[in-house]
Structure 1
Protein backbone atom coordinates (compact mmCIF):
# COMPACT_ATOMS: atom_id res chain seq x y z
CA UNK A 1 0.00 0.00 0.00
CA UNK A 2 1.46 3.34 -1.05
CA UNK A 3 1.87 6.06 1.55
CA UNK A 4 1.74 8.81 -1.09
CA UNK A 5 -1.41 10.94 -0.77
CA UNK A 6 -3.38 11.36 -3.98
CA UNK A 7 -3.07 14.82 -5.53
CA UNK A 8 -6.21 16.95 -5.70
CA UNK A 9 -7.26 18.24 -9.12
CA UNK A 10 -8.75 21.57 -8.04
CA UNK A 11 -8.76 23.21 -11.45
CA UNK A 12 -10.02 20.28 -13.53
CA UNK A 13 -8.58 19.24 -16.86
CA UNK A 14 -6.46 21.49 -19.01
CA UNK A 15 -9.05 21.70 -21.77
CA UNK A 16 -11.80 22.56 -19.31
CA UNK A 17 -9.68 25.31 -17.78
CA UNK A 18 -8.97 26.84 -21.21
CA UNK A 19 -12.69 26.81 -22.08
CA UNK A 20 -13.60 28.50 -18.79
CA UNK A 21 -10.93 31.17 -19.24
CA UNK A 22 -12.20 31.94 -22.73
CA UNK A 23 -15.75 32.12 -21.42
CA UNK A 24 -14.71 34.55 -18.68
CA UNK A 25 -12.79 36.64 -21.18
CA UNK A 26 -15.72 36.96 -23.58
CA UNK A 27 -18.12 37.68 -20.72
CA UNK A 28 -15.93 40.51 -19.42
CA UNK A 29 -15.48 41.80 -22.98
CA UNK A 30 -19.26 41.83 -23.40
CA UNK A 31 -19.69 43.85 -20.21
CA UNK A 32 -17.01 46.32 -21.28
CA UNK A 33 -18.49 46.63 -24.77
CA UNK A 34 -21.94 47.21 -23.32
CA UNK A 35 -20.83 50.53 -21.82
CA UNK A 36 -19.50 51.64 -25.21
CA UNK A 37 -22.72 50.58 -26.94
CA UNK A 38 -24.87 52.47 -24.41
CA UNK A 39 -22.76 55.62 -24.77
CA UNK A 40 -22.81 55.38 -28.56
CA UNK A 41 -26.57 54.83 -28.55
CA UNK A 42 -27.09 57.95 -26.42
CA UNK A 43 -24.93 60.02 -28.75
CA UNK A 44 -26.70 58.66 -31.84
CA UNK A 45 -30.17 59.31 -30.39
CA UNK A 46 -29.32 62.84 -29.33
CA UNK A 47 -27.60 63.65 -32.61
CA UNK A 48 -30.42 62.23 -34.74
CA UNK A 49 -33.16 64.26 -33.05
CA UNK A 50 -30.91 67.31 -32.69
CA UNK A 51 -30.39 67.34 -36.47
CA UNK A 52 -34.15 67.34 -36.90
CA UNK A 53 -34.32 70.32 -34.55
CA UNK A 54 -31.66 72.17 -36.52
CA UNK A 55 -33.71 71.64 -39.68
CA UNK A 56 -36.38 73.78 -38.01
CA UNK A 57 -34.11 76.24 -36.18
CA UNK A 58 -30.97 77.92 -37.49
CA UNK A 59 -27.95 76.46 -35.63
CA UNK A 60 -26.23 79.87 -35.60
CA UNK A 61 -29.28 81.44 -33.99
CA UNK A 62 -29.40 78.58 -31.48
CA UNK A 63 -25.79 78.88 -30.33
CA UNK A 64 -25.57 82.69 -30.43
CA UNK A 65 -29.09 83.77 -29.51
CA UNK A 66 -29.74 85.55 -26.22
CA UNK A 67 -33.47 84.86 -25.92
CA UNK A 68 -35.09 81.54 -25.01
CA UNK A 69 -38.87 81.77 -25.38
CA UNK A 70 -40.22 78.54 -26.82
CA UNK A 71 -43.75 79.93 -27.22
CA UNK A 72 -42.36 82.46 -29.74
CA UNK A 73 -39.98 79.95 -31.36
CA UNK A 74 -36.96 81.87 -30.03
CA UNK A 75 -34.33 79.28 -29.19
CA UNK A 76 -31.19 81.14 -28.18
CA UNK A 77 -29.27 78.85 -25.85
CA UNK A 78 -26.94 81.43 -24.29
CA UNK A 79 -29.29 82.34 -21.39
CA UNK A 80 -29.40 78.68 -20.42
CA UNK A 81 -25.65 78.26 -20.81
CA UNK A 82 -24.87 81.30 -18.65
CA UNK A 83 -27.32 80.12 -16.01
CA UNK A 84 -25.72 76.68 -15.98
CA UNK A 85 -22.19 78.08 -15.76
CA UNK A 86 -23.13 80.49 -12.97
CA UNK A 87 -24.71 77.75 -10.87
CA UNK A 88 -21.71 75.50 -11.48
CA UNK A 89 -19.20 78.23 -10.62
CA UNK A 90 -20.84 79.14 -7.31
CA UNK A 91 -21.29 75.47 -6.46
CA UNK A 92 -17.56 74.99 -7.05
CA UNK A 93 -16.77 77.84 -4.63
CA UNK A 94 -18.76 75.95 -2.00
CA UNK A 95 -17.78 72.36 -2.70
CA UNK A 96 -14.08 72.59 -3.53
CA UNK A 97 -12.73 74.33 -0.38
CA UNK A 98 -14.99 72.41 2.00
CA UNK A 99 -14.40 69.10 0.25
CA UNK A 100 -10.61 69.46 0.13
CA UNK A 101 -10.36 70.58 3.77
CA UNK A 102 -12.57 67.68 4.83
CA UNK A 103 -10.37 65.32 2.82
CA UNK A 104 -7.22 66.68 4.48
CA UNK A 105 -8.70 66.12 7.91
CA UNK A 106 -9.87 62.59 7.10
CA UNK A 107 -6.56 61.64 5.50
CA UNK A 108 -4.04 63.34 7.80
CA UNK A 109 -5.64 64.21 11.12
CA UNK A 110 -8.54 61.88 11.88
CA UNK A 111 -7.98 58.69 13.84
CA UNK A 112 -9.08 55.39 12.35
CA UNK A 113 -12.14 55.37 14.57
CA UNK A 114 -13.10 58.94 13.68
CA UNK A 115 -12.54 58.25 9.97
CA UNK A 116 -14.74 55.15 10.10
CA UNK A 117 -17.58 57.32 11.40
CA UNK A 118 -17.06 60.64 9.63
CA UNK A 119 -16.41 59.42 6.11
CA UNK A 120 -19.58 57.29 5.83
CA UNK A 121 -21.55 60.10 7.46
CA UNK A 122 -20.21 62.55 4.89
CA UNK A 123 -20.95 60.20 2.03
CA UNK A 124 -24.55 59.88 3.19
CA UNK A 125 -25.05 63.31 1.65
CA UNK A 126 -24.56 61.71 -1.75
CA UNK A 127 -27.50 59.39 -1.08
CA UNK A 128 -29.98 62.12 -0.16
CA UNK A 129 -32.56 62.56 -2.96
CA UNK A 130 -32.00 65.75 -4.90
CA UNK A 131 -35.64 66.76 -4.42
CA UNK A 132 -34.87 67.04 -0.70
CA UNK A 133 -32.01 69.44 -1.45
CA UNK A 134 -34.35 71.50 -3.61
CA UNK A 135 -36.96 71.61 -0.87
CA UNK A 136 -34.37 72.69 1.71
CA UNK A 137 -33.07 75.43 -0.59
CA UNK A 138 -36.54 76.81 -1.27
CA UNK A 139 -38.08 76.55 2.22
CA UNK A 140 -35.10 77.11 4.53
CA UNK A 141 -32.01 78.42 2.76
CA UNK A 142 -33.62 81.32 0.91
CA UNK A 143 -35.37 82.72 4.04
CA UNK A 144 -32.13 82.31 6.01
CA UNK A 145 -30.15 84.26 3.41
CA UNK A 146 -32.78 86.98 3.55
CA UNK A 147 -32.20 87.36 7.29
CA UNK A 148 -28.55 88.12 6.44
CA UNK A 149 -29.69 91.17 4.48
CA UNK A 150 -29.65 89.70 0.97
CA UNK A 151 -32.42 90.86 -1.34
CA UNK A 152 -33.47 87.53 -2.81
CA UNK A 153 -36.60 86.53 -4.63
CA UNK A 154 -38.49 83.34 -3.92
CA UNK A 155 -36.56 81.71 -6.76
CA UNK A 156 -32.94 82.77 -7.08
CA UNK A 157 -29.64 81.51 -8.40
CA UNK A 158 -27.75 81.84 -5.10
CA UNK A 159 -29.79 79.36 -3.06
CA UNK A 160 -29.77 76.81 -5.85
CA UNK A 161 -26.01 77.18 -6.34
CA UNK A 162 -25.19 76.80 -2.65
CA UNK A 163 -27.33 73.69 -2.35
CA UNK A 164 -25.81 72.14 -5.47
CA UNK A 165 -22.38 72.81 -3.94
CA UNK A 166 -23.40 71.08 -0.71
CA UNK A 167 -24.69 68.15 -2.74
CA UNK A 168 -21.36 67.52 -4.51
CA UNK A 169 -19.16 67.95 -1.42
CA UNK A 170 -19.09 64.17 -0.79
CA UNK A 171 -17.71 63.55 -4.29
CA UNK A 172 -14.89 66.04 -3.81
CA UNK A 173 -14.02 64.92 -0.28
CA UNK A 174 -14.21 61.18 -0.92
CA UNK A 175 -12.16 61.14 -4.13
CA UNK A 176 -9.64 63.65 -2.74
CA UNK A 177 -9.24 61.64 0.45
CA UNK A 178 -8.60 58.49 -1.57
CA UNK A 179 -5.92 60.33 -3.57
CA UNK A 180 -4.26 61.66 -0.40
CA UNK A 181 -4.36 58.26 1.29
CA UNK A 182 -2.50 56.80 -1.70
CA UNK A 183 0.50 59.09 -1.04
CA UNK A 184 3.34 56.95 0.43
CA UNK A 185 4.08 57.48 4.11
CA UNK A 186 7.76 57.80 3.25
CA UNK A 187 7.06 61.25 1.80
CA UNK A 188 5.32 62.30 5.00
CA UNK A 189 8.16 60.96 7.12
CA UNK A 190 10.62 62.86 4.94
CA UNK A 191 8.75 66.08 5.62
CA UNK A 192 8.68 65.44 9.36
CA UNK A 193 12.40 64.64 9.30
CA UNK A 194 13.04 68.12 7.85
CA UNK A 195 11.20 69.70 10.78
CA UNK A 196 7.90 70.43 9.07
CA UNK A 197 4.70 70.54 11.08
CA UNK A 198 1.75 68.30 10.33
CA UNK A 199 -0.08 71.14 8.63
CA UNK A 200 2.96 71.93 6.48
CA UNK A 201 3.34 68.29 5.49
CA UNK A 202 -0.36 68.08 4.64
CA UNK A 203 -0.43 71.21 2.51
CA UNK A 204 3.09 71.21 1.05
CA UNK A 205 3.71 67.49 0.55
CA UNK A 206 0.52 65.46 0.52
CA UNK A 207 -1.76 67.81 -1.42
CA UNK A 208 0.76 68.63 -4.21
CA UNK A 209 1.59 64.95 -4.57
CA UNK A 210 -2.08 63.97 -4.86
CA UNK A 211 -3.01 66.95 -7.03
CA UNK A 212 -3.91 64.88 -10.09
CA UNK A 213 -6.50 62.86 -8.17
CA UNK A 214 -7.78 65.98 -6.39
CA UNK A 215 -8.19 67.85 -9.64
CA UNK A 216 -9.97 64.87 -11.17
CA UNK A 217 -12.45 65.00 -8.29
CA UNK A 218 -13.07 68.67 -9.07
CA UNK A 219 -13.92 67.93 -12.69
CA UNK A 220 -16.19 65.01 -11.83
CA UNK A 221 -17.98 67.04 -9.17
CA UNK A 222 -18.47 69.97 -11.54
CA UNK A 223 -19.78 67.61 -14.21
CA UNK A 224 -22.28 66.37 -11.66
CA UNK A 225 -23.23 69.94 -10.79
CA UNK A 226 -23.76 70.84 -14.45
CA UNK A 227 -26.18 67.95 -14.87
CA UNK A 228 -28.23 68.66 -11.74
CA UNK A 229 -31.93 69.17 -12.42
CA UNK A 230 -34.28 68.96 -9.45
CA UNK A 231 -32.49 71.44 -7.18
CA UNK A 232 -32.34 74.15 -9.84
CA UNK A 233 -35.94 73.53 -10.91
CA UNK A 234 -37.25 73.97 -7.36
CA UNK A 235 -34.93 76.72 -6.08
CA UNK A 236 -33.87 78.65 -9.19
CA UNK A 237 -37.11 78.77 -11.11
CA UNK A 238 -37.95 78.33 -14.77
CA UNK A 239 -37.38 81.82 -16.10
CA UNK A 240 -34.60 81.86 -18.70
CA UNK A 241 -32.69 85.11 -18.71
CA UNK A 242 -29.34 86.25 -19.97
CA UNK A 243 -27.31 86.40 -16.78
CA UNK A 244 -24.40 88.83 -16.63
CA UNK A 245 -21.35 86.72 -15.79
CA UNK A 246 -19.26 89.89 -15.40
CA UNK A 247 -21.53 91.00 -12.55
CA UNK A 248 -22.60 87.74 -10.91
CA UNK A 249 -23.66 89.41 -7.64
CA UNK A 250 -26.76 90.97 -9.15
CA UNK A 251 -27.48 87.88 -11.22
CA UNK A 252 -27.39 85.65 -8.15
CA UNK A 253 -30.35 87.46 -6.61
CA UNK A 254 -32.58 86.81 -9.62
CA UNK A 255 -34.30 83.73 -10.90
CA UNK A 256 -32.96 81.90 -13.92
CA UNK A 257 -32.90 78.62 -15.74
CA UNK A 258 -30.32 76.01 -16.58
CA UNK A 259 -30.09 73.70 -19.56
CA UNK A 260 -31.32 70.68 -17.61
CA UNK A 261 -34.42 72.44 -16.27
CA UNK A 262 -35.19 73.70 -19.79
CA UNK A 263 -35.05 70.09 -20.98
CA UNK A 264 -37.51 69.07 -18.26
CA UNK A 265 -39.81 71.94 -19.22
CA UNK A 266 -39.67 70.95 -22.90
CA UNK A 267 -40.54 67.31 -22.31
CA UNK A 268 -43.36 68.09 -19.87
CA UNK A 269 -44.99 70.76 -22.06
CA UNK A 270 -48.00 70.23 -24.29
CA UNK A 271 -45.91 70.60 -27.44
CA UNK A 272 -46.14 67.83 -30.00
CA UNK A 273 -43.31 65.40 -30.64
CA UNK A 274 -42.54 67.02 -34.01
CA UNK A 275 -42.53 70.61 -32.72
CA UNK A 276 -39.34 72.64 -32.28
CA UNK A 277 -40.06 72.98 -28.54
CA UNK A 278 -39.98 69.22 -28.04
CA UNK A 279 -37.01 68.73 -30.35
CA UNK A 280 -35.08 71.42 -28.48
CA UNK A 281 -34.69 68.95 -25.64
CA UNK A 282 -32.34 66.86 -27.77
CA UNK A 283 -30.33 69.86 -28.95
CA UNK A 284 -29.87 70.94 -25.34
CA UNK A 285 -28.97 67.39 -24.33
CA UNK A 286 -26.36 67.14 -27.07
CA UNK A 287 -24.87 70.49 -26.06
CA UNK A 288 -24.76 69.47 -22.41
CA UNK A 289 -23.25 66.11 -23.33
CA UNK A 290 -20.51 67.86 -25.29
CA UNK A 291 -19.70 70.12 -22.33
CA UNK A 292 -19.48 67.27 -19.83
CA UNK A 293 -17.51 65.13 -22.29
CA UNK A 294 -14.91 67.86 -22.70
CA UNK A 295 -14.66 68.28 -18.93
CA UNK A 296 -14.18 64.56 -18.35
CA UNK A 297 -11.63 64.36 -21.15
CA UNK A 298 -9.66 67.21 -19.59
CA UNK A 299 -9.88 65.46 -16.23
CA UNK A 300 -8.41 62.25 -17.63
CA UNK A 301 -5.73 64.16 -19.55
CA UNK A 302 -4.62 66.12 -16.49
CA UNK A 303 -4.69 63.00 -14.30
CA UNK A 304 -2.47 61.13 -16.77
CA UNK A 305 -0.13 64.09 -17.26
CA UNK A 306 0.50 64.60 -13.55
CA UNK A 307 0.18 61.00 -12.41
CA UNK A 308 2.80 60.01 -9.83
CA UNK A 309 4.09 56.44 -9.70
CA UNK A 310 5.78 55.01 -6.64
CA UNK A 311 7.75 51.89 -6.22
Structure 2
Protein backbone atom coordinates (compact mmCIF):
# COMPACT_ATOMS: atom_id res chain seq x y z
CA UNK A 1 0.00 0.00 0.00
CA UNK A 2 1.20 3.53 -0.75
CA UNK A 3 1.77 5.68 2.31
CA UNK A 4 -0.02 9.03 2.64
CA UNK A 5 1.31 11.67 0.30
CA UNK A 6 4.49 13.43 1.40
CA UNK A 7 5.38 16.95 0.23
CA UNK A 8 8.40 15.76 -1.75
CA UNK A 9 6.77 12.63 -3.19
CA UNK A 10 6.48 12.54 -6.96
CA UNK A 11 3.19 11.64 -8.63
CA UNK A 12 2.98 9.09 -11.43
CA UNK A 13 1.79 9.63 -14.99
CA UNK A 14 0.23 7.82 -17.90
CA UNK A 15 0.79 9.69 -21.15
CA UNK A 16 -0.55 9.14 -24.61
CA UNK A 17 2.73 9.39 -26.50
CA UNK A 18 1.61 10.09 -30.07
CA UNK A 19 2.73 8.33 -33.24
CA UNK A 20 6.26 7.42 -34.33
CA UNK A 21 8.87 10.22 -34.30
CA UNK A 22 6.19 12.92 -34.35
CA UNK A 23 8.11 15.70 -32.53
CA UNK A 24 10.56 15.83 -35.43
CA UNK A 25 7.93 15.72 -38.20
CA UNK A 26 5.04 17.78 -36.82
CA UNK A 27 4.47 19.39 -40.20
CA UNK A 28 4.00 15.96 -41.80
CA UNK A 29 1.53 14.61 -39.27
CA UNK A 30 -2.24 14.73 -39.84
CA UNK A 31 -3.79 17.30 -37.58
CA UNK A 32 -2.22 19.70 -35.11
CA UNK A 33 0.18 18.14 -32.59
CA UNK A 34 0.29 21.31 -30.51
CA UNK A 35 -2.09 20.28 -27.75
CA UNK A 36 -0.28 16.99 -27.10
CA UNK A 37 3.06 18.79 -27.23
CA UNK A 38 1.96 21.39 -24.70
CA UNK A 39 0.58 18.75 -22.34
CA UNK A 40 3.96 17.03 -22.26
CA UNK A 41 5.85 20.29 -21.84
CA UNK A 42 3.58 21.14 -18.91
CA UNK A 43 4.62 18.06 -16.90
CA UNK A 44 8.10 19.34 -15.88
CA UNK A 45 6.60 22.76 -15.17
CA UNK A 46 3.87 21.41 -12.91
CA UNK A 47 6.28 19.10 -11.09
CA UNK A 48 8.50 22.06 -10.25
CA UNK A 49 11.40 19.72 -9.48
CA UNK A 50 13.77 17.76 -11.68
CA UNK A 51 13.52 14.01 -11.09
CA UNK A 52 16.60 12.08 -10.11
CA UNK A 53 15.61 9.67 -12.88
CA UNK A 54 12.58 8.56 -14.87
CA UNK A 55 11.31 4.99 -14.92
CA UNK A 56 9.43 4.60 -18.19
CA UNK A 57 7.06 1.74 -18.95
CA UNK A 58 6.51 1.80 -22.70
CA UNK A 59 3.89 -0.01 -24.73
CA UNK A 60 6.70 -0.87 -27.15
CA UNK A 61 8.67 -3.28 -24.96
CA UNK A 62 7.33 -6.66 -23.91
CA UNK A 63 9.17 -9.64 -22.39
CA UNK A 64 8.16 -12.95 -20.83
CA UNK A 65 9.12 -11.48 -17.43
CA UNK A 66 9.43 -7.90 -16.26
CA UNK A 67 12.81 -6.77 -17.57
CA UNK A 68 14.84 -3.76 -16.48
CA UNK A 69 17.04 -1.73 -18.81
CA UNK A 70 20.51 -1.40 -17.25
CA UNK A 71 22.49 0.21 -20.08
CA UNK A 72 24.26 3.37 -18.81
CA UNK A 73 24.08 4.86 -22.32
CA UNK A 74 21.05 3.38 -24.08
CA UNK A 75 21.18 3.51 -27.89
CA UNK A 76 18.23 4.36 -30.09
CA UNK A 77 15.68 1.78 -31.19
CA UNK A 78 13.84 3.00 -34.29
CA UNK A 79 10.80 0.77 -33.88
CA UNK A 80 8.66 2.34 -36.60
CA UNK A 81 8.42 2.28 -40.36
CA UNK A 82 7.53 4.47 -43.30
CA UNK A 83 8.95 7.73 -42.01
CA UNK A 84 11.57 10.03 -43.61
CA UNK A 85 15.16 8.77 -43.66
CA UNK A 86 16.41 11.34 -41.17
CA UNK A 87 14.06 10.00 -38.48
CA UNK A 88 16.24 6.87 -38.38
CA UNK A 89 19.19 9.01 -37.31
CA UNK A 90 17.44 10.88 -34.49
CA UNK A 91 19.44 10.94 -31.28
CA UNK A 92 18.11 11.46 -27.78
CA UNK A 93 21.21 10.92 -25.63
CA UNK A 94 19.65 10.81 -22.18
CA UNK A 95 21.84 8.75 -19.84
CA UNK A 96 20.61 5.49 -18.38
CA UNK A 97 20.33 4.85 -14.66
CA UNK A 98 21.98 1.54 -13.67
CA UNK A 99 21.75 2.43 -9.98
CA UNK A 100 18.01 2.92 -10.22
CA UNK A 101 17.76 -0.27 -12.30
CA UNK A 102 19.31 -2.19 -9.40
CA UNK A 103 16.78 -0.63 -7.02
CA UNK A 104 13.91 -1.52 -9.36
CA UNK A 105 15.10 -5.11 -9.41
CA UNK A 106 15.39 -5.15 -5.62
CA UNK A 107 11.86 -3.86 -5.11
CA UNK A 108 10.34 -6.31 -7.58
CA UNK A 109 12.31 -9.17 -6.04
CA UNK A 110 11.13 -8.24 -2.54
CA UNK A 111 7.57 -8.37 -3.84
CA UNK A 112 8.14 -11.85 -5.26
CA UNK A 113 7.96 -10.66 -8.87
CA UNK A 114 10.42 -12.41 -11.19
CA UNK A 115 12.69 -9.92 -12.91
CA UNK A 116 15.32 -9.97 -15.63
CA UNK A 117 17.89 -7.41 -16.78
CA UNK A 118 18.84 -6.21 -20.25
CA UNK A 119 22.15 -4.39 -20.74
CA UNK A 120 21.66 -3.88 -24.49
CA UNK A 121 18.16 -2.49 -24.84
CA UNK A 122 17.83 0.99 -26.33
CA UNK A 123 15.16 3.65 -26.03
CA UNK A 124 12.10 2.94 -28.17
CA UNK A 125 9.94 5.73 -29.54
CA UNK A 126 7.47 5.35 -26.67
CA UNK A 127 10.30 6.86 -24.64
CA UNK A 128 12.40 9.11 -26.83
CA UNK A 129 9.47 10.88 -28.53
CA UNK A 130 7.56 12.09 -25.44
CA UNK A 131 10.64 12.67 -23.30
CA UNK A 132 12.31 14.74 -26.01
CA UNK A 133 9.31 17.05 -25.68
CA UNK A 134 9.37 16.98 -21.89
CA UNK A 135 13.15 17.23 -21.40
CA UNK A 136 14.66 18.40 -24.70
CA UNK A 137 18.16 18.71 -23.24
CA UNK A 138 18.21 14.95 -22.51
CA UNK A 139 19.65 15.73 -19.09
CA UNK A 140 17.42 13.50 -16.94
CA UNK A 141 18.47 9.83 -16.69
CA UNK A 142 15.89 7.39 -18.03
CA UNK A 143 15.50 3.65 -17.68
CA UNK A 144 12.78 1.42 -19.06
CA UNK A 145 10.84 -1.43 -17.50
CA UNK A 146 9.24 -3.85 -19.93
CA UNK A 147 5.68 -5.05 -19.94
CA UNK A 148 5.10 -8.70 -19.12
CA UNK A 149 3.71 -10.90 -21.86
CA UNK A 150 0.04 -11.70 -21.46
CA UNK A 151 -0.71 -8.15 -20.29
CA UNK A 152 -2.31 -9.35 -17.04
CA UNK A 153 -3.70 -6.18 -15.40
CA UNK A 154 -3.23 -7.61 -11.90
CA UNK A 155 0.45 -8.34 -12.55
CA UNK A 156 1.11 -4.82 -13.79
CA UNK A 157 -0.80 -3.23 -10.92
CA UNK A 158 1.28 -5.38 -8.56
CA UNK A 159 4.51 -4.23 -10.22
CA UNK A 160 3.43 -0.64 -9.70
CA UNK A 161 2.70 -1.29 -6.03
CA UNK A 162 6.14 -2.79 -5.58
CA UNK A 163 7.79 0.20 -7.23
CA UNK A 164 5.90 2.86 -5.25
CA UNK A 165 8.87 3.59 -2.91
CA UNK A 166 10.74 5.02 -5.89
CA UNK A 167 8.42 8.02 -5.73
CA UNK A 168 10.02 9.02 -2.41
CA UNK A 169 13.48 8.56 -3.92
CA UNK A 170 13.18 11.15 -6.67
CA UNK A 171 12.19 8.74 -9.44
CA UNK A 172 9.33 9.72 -11.73
CA UNK A 173 7.24 6.73 -12.89
CA UNK A 174 5.68 7.26 -16.31
CA UNK A 175 3.54 4.82 -18.25
CA UNK A 176 3.83 5.64 -21.95
CA UNK A 177 1.12 4.28 -24.20
CA UNK A 178 -2.11 5.53 -25.71
CA UNK A 179 -5.66 5.72 -24.40
CA UNK A 180 -6.76 4.41 -27.82
CA UNK A 181 -4.57 2.14 -29.93
CA UNK A 182 -6.11 0.41 -32.91
CA UNK A 183 -3.88 1.11 -35.91
CA UNK A 184 -6.28 -0.69 -38.25
CA UNK A 185 -9.06 1.67 -37.28
CA UNK A 186 -7.27 5.02 -37.15
CA UNK A 187 -9.34 7.61 -38.98
CA UNK A 188 -12.99 8.69 -39.03
CA UNK A 189 -14.10 5.22 -37.93
CA UNK A 190 -12.12 5.63 -34.70
CA UNK A 191 -14.25 8.49 -33.40
CA UNK A 192 -17.06 6.44 -31.85
CA UNK A 193 -14.96 3.69 -30.28
CA UNK A 194 -12.24 5.98 -28.96
CA UNK A 195 -14.82 8.26 -27.33
CA UNK A 196 -16.84 5.41 -25.84
CA UNK A 197 -13.76 3.81 -24.32
CA UNK A 198 -12.18 7.15 -23.45
CA UNK A 199 -15.26 8.28 -21.52
CA UNK A 200 -15.22 5.02 -19.58
CA UNK A 201 -11.49 5.26 -18.91
CA UNK A 202 -11.65 8.78 -17.54
CA UNK A 203 -14.56 7.87 -15.28
CA UNK A 204 -12.71 4.75 -14.12
CA UNK A 205 -9.43 6.46 -13.24
CA UNK A 206 -10.60 9.94 -12.20
CA UNK A 207 -14.20 9.94 -11.03
CA UNK A 208 -14.44 6.89 -8.76
CA UNK A 209 -12.63 6.03 -5.54
CA UNK A 210 -9.11 4.62 -5.82
CA UNK A 211 -10.41 1.26 -4.59
CA UNK A 212 -13.10 1.14 -7.27
CA UNK A 213 -10.56 2.33 -9.85
CA UNK A 214 -8.46 -0.77 -9.27
CA UNK A 215 -11.47 -3.05 -9.64
CA UNK A 216 -12.56 -1.38 -12.86
CA UNK A 217 -9.09 -1.62 -14.38
CA UNK A 218 -8.98 -5.33 -13.59
CA UNK A 219 -12.12 -5.63 -15.73
CA UNK A 220 -11.15 -3.10 -18.37
CA UNK A 221 -12.01 -5.45 -21.24
CA UNK A 222 -15.70 -5.30 -20.29
CA UNK A 223 -15.79 -1.54 -20.91
CA UNK A 224 -17.67 -0.04 -23.87
CA UNK A 225 -15.69 -0.53 -27.10
CA UNK A 226 -12.79 -1.99 -25.09
CA UNK A 227 -11.52 -4.41 -27.73
CA UNK A 228 -12.27 -1.98 -30.55
CA UNK A 229 -10.05 0.56 -28.76
CA UNK A 230 -7.36 -1.93 -27.75
CA UNK A 231 -7.31 -5.12 -29.85
CA UNK A 232 -4.08 -5.81 -27.96
CA UNK A 233 -3.65 -3.87 -24.74
CA UNK A 234 0.08 -3.16 -25.00
CA UNK A 235 -0.59 0.59 -25.02
CA UNK A 236 -3.04 0.43 -22.11
CA UNK A 237 -1.14 -1.77 -19.65
CA UNK A 238 1.50 0.91 -18.86
CA UNK A 239 -1.39 2.73 -17.18
CA UNK A 240 -1.70 -0.16 -14.71
CA UNK A 241 1.86 0.33 -13.47
CA UNK A 242 1.33 4.06 -12.99
CA UNK A 243 -1.92 3.42 -11.10
CA UNK A 244 -0.44 0.64 -8.98
CA UNK A 245 2.36 2.93 -7.80
CA UNK A 246 -0.22 5.49 -6.60
CA UNK A 247 -3.06 3.12 -5.88
CA UNK A 248 -4.58 4.96 -2.92
CA UNK A 249 -4.29 8.41 -4.44
CA UNK A 250 -6.56 10.46 -6.65
CA UNK A 251 -6.19 10.72 -10.40
CA UNK A 252 -6.68 13.71 -12.67
CA UNK A 253 -6.82 14.01 -16.44
CA UNK A 254 -4.05 16.35 -17.57
CA UNK A 255 -4.64 16.15 -21.32
CA UNK A 256 -7.69 15.52 -23.44
CA UNK A 257 -8.17 15.91 -27.14
CA UNK A 258 -11.44 14.69 -28.67
CA UNK A 259 -10.09 14.78 -32.22
CA UNK A 260 -6.39 13.90 -32.06
CA UNK A 261 -5.11 13.40 -35.61
CA UNK A 262 -8.57 14.39 -36.74
CA UNK A 263 -10.70 11.72 -35.09
CA UNK A 264 -9.25 9.99 -32.02
CA UNK A 265 -10.29 10.74 -28.45
CA UNK A 266 -6.97 10.85 -26.56
CA UNK A 267 -6.13 11.43 -22.88
CA UNK A 268 -3.30 11.44 -20.37
CA UNK A 269 -3.49 11.24 -16.56
CA UNK A 270 -1.62 12.02 -13.37
CA UNK A 271 -1.95 10.04 -10.13
CA UNK A 272 -1.05 11.55 -6.78
CA UNK A 273 -0.47 15.13 -5.73
CA UNK A 274 2.28 17.37 -7.01
CA UNK A 275 5.37 17.87 -4.81
CA UNK A 276 4.60 20.26 -1.98
CA UNK A 277 0.85 19.92 -2.53
CA UNK A 278 -0.07 16.86 -0.49
CA UNK A 279 -3.76 16.08 -0.79
CA UNK A 280 -4.29 18.29 -3.83
CA UNK A 281 -5.92 16.92 -6.97
CA UNK A 282 -4.36 19.34 -9.43
**TM-score under structure 1 normalisation?**
0.20
Larger RCO of the pair (alpha carbons < 8 Å, separation 6+): 2
Higher helix content, 1 or 2: 1
Structure exhibiting the larger radius of gyration computed from Cα positions: 1
Higher strand content, 1 or 2: 2
**TM-score under structure 2 normalisation?**
0.22
